[in-house]
Chains A and B, each alone.
Chain A
Amino acid sequence: MQSAKQFTSIFGGVLVLFLVAPLIIRDTQFQHLMIMLLLFTTLSQAWNLIGGFAGQVSLGHAMFFGIGAYAAMAPLNQWGLTPWIGMAIGGLVAMVAAVIVGYPVFRLKGHYFVISTFAVAEVVRELFSNWDWVDGPIGLDAPLVEQGWRNFMFYHTKLPYHYTLLIFFAVVMFVAFRMERSRMGYYFRAIKQRPEAAQAMGVNITLFKQYAFIISAFFTAICGSMYGLYVLHIEPSTVLSLDISIKIVLIAVLGGIGSLWGPLLGATILISLQEYSRIWLGGTGRGIDLIVLGALIVIICVYEPNGIVGLIKRFSRKKRKA
């Protein structure tokens, strides 16, 4: 575990960097990259709580992401409800969904959780695709409303999205940091390493897995809301797709599963790769980012299962010895 001092200084540095970067670099492509980076880091950190720390791999986080996106966009679209309330609703619905998915499987051993998250996410996508109120497979466009904080709509600047996400990123990082050194954090790690020994120590492992999943689902839904409000168009095949679920996992795996800085490192590489290959290579570059990414993942899996964070640790250990 990283010392509190070390964490605080790195965390402070990262925050300052994200605070000033969009003020100095006014290029909108770059600002877009920063927003995506914050979004996917936060998403991946939310996943990390259950998938990394507690070791319960979810391949269905798109369901929470999509629920959040729709909860913010649909009431705004239909009734003009402020998306802040929609966001709260999305968060709550996601928490309930986490209980419904988790309750039957957390008491079982084995891989039921992975399979059921995957399956339920597919079902949720089908449901939204067939739901007329949210225009089924066509999806929803953000309505043309007065811009400002009430509607969380800004047509000429990206900065409000950036700073709102930055605050949310900071909150999730702080929660993860506090959690790691609390009883709950120890319990999550114990459940991942030796579930039976954890039980013998008095841990209700079913309950604690459920806690991890609920917290994770909540944060993921908020990310989904922000994403919808930022890109202005959502549909089942994007916000509820397996693509999203997988991307969230890959970022954590690449960066270092179950570590505090893994998501940021993983997202920096993956999101830059994705955005810049799109910009530079345009249509012809389609898929190249995925090929490079695939190669990176293979290298990570073979060479250092603990991701980039693992590489850094190994390197600094060698340096200290030398």
Chain B
Amino acid sequence: MPILEVKNLSMHFGELAALEDINLAVEKGEILGLIGPNGAGKTTFFNCITGFLNATRGDIFYKEQNITRFGPHRVCKLGICRTFQIVQSFNEMTALENVMMGAFCRHHLTGDAREKAEEILKFTGLQDKKNQLAGGLTLADQKRIELARTIATEPDVVLLDEVMAGLNPTETEEAIGLIQKVHEKGLTIIVVEHVMEVIMKISHRIAVFDSGELIVDGPPEEVVQDERVIKAYLGEEYHAES
């Protein structure tokens, strides 16, 4: 049984079909890469799963439970947590407090939540910055805090929306390492990323969206050679290079 399964999912904004009849399943412990050109519907896909948008049609199953109409907080409580493409730090809170916000999901006492958050900060290499306000940190650090507080909710599935966009090569390397560490903890990960090298490196499987449709779904080596993918996403240039 897949841990997360989406059946015939469509999301329409008026005339625009941001998602059209998507069928996709994710196995427990898998890292699924999700790629596609700008406006392909990747973020919309995350928004539907996490309850920020109500799908026009279709169903979403998590551990065999239909969660299609669940609100965001319920989805999080069940064990699916996401990051935001445009960072959404709690700017007026410290790094520690940001991560505590995630920890409060399972630990209702402040002391317990703080303990859990300290542990996650260590795990993500943020302990030096724990008393700094999140709003004053670099983009790389803020993205890392978002990942940290996401893990702090103790999810089974995490949805990462371009956690490496805007990072320099060293920071990207660190972020990749961190995602792999998170995966080793047994989490299932769906990761949206534009940089092909990154996606190729970390994904077990890749799904390609184009104009709201799932056009290809398979192992990384196959996906990069697929005609439709090359045409839709990678462009002639990448084709010529490889």
Contacts and interface: CB of A to CB of B under 8 A. Distances in A.
A164 interface: no
B91 interface: yes
Interface stretch (B55-63, B69-77, B188-196, B230-238): B69-77
Contact of B76 (A181, A189, A190, A200): A200
A193 B91 CA distance: 7
29 contacts: A182-B110, A183-B108, A186-B93, A186-B97, A186-B100, A186-B101, A187-B101, A190-B93, A193-B91, A194-B89, A196-B88, A197-B89, A197-B90, A197-B101, A198-B101, A199-B71, A199-B76, A200-B50, A200-B76, A200-B82, A201-B76, A201-B101, A201-B104, A201-B105, A201-B149, A202-B105, A203-B73, A204-B71, A204-B73
A186 B102 CA distance: 11
A196 B84 contact: yes
Contacts of B214: none
Contacts of B150: 200
Given A183-B110, A186-B101, A205 B73 contact: yes
B77 A202 contact: yes
Contacts of A183: 104, 108-110, 113
Interface string B154-193: 0000000000000000000000000000000000000000
B153 interface: yes
Interface in A169-215: 181-183, 186-187, 189-190, 193-194, 196-205
Interface residues of A, number: 19
Interface SS of A by simple majority: helix
Interface residues of B, number: 29
Interface in A55-73: none
B104 A200 contact: no
Contacts of A187: 101, 104
A59 to B, nearest CB: 24
B86 to A, nearest CB: 10
Contact of A181 (B89, B101, B110): B110
Contacts of A205: 73
B50 A190 contact: no
A203 B90 CA distance: 14
Contact of B84 (A190, A200, A202): A200
Contacts of A194: 88-91
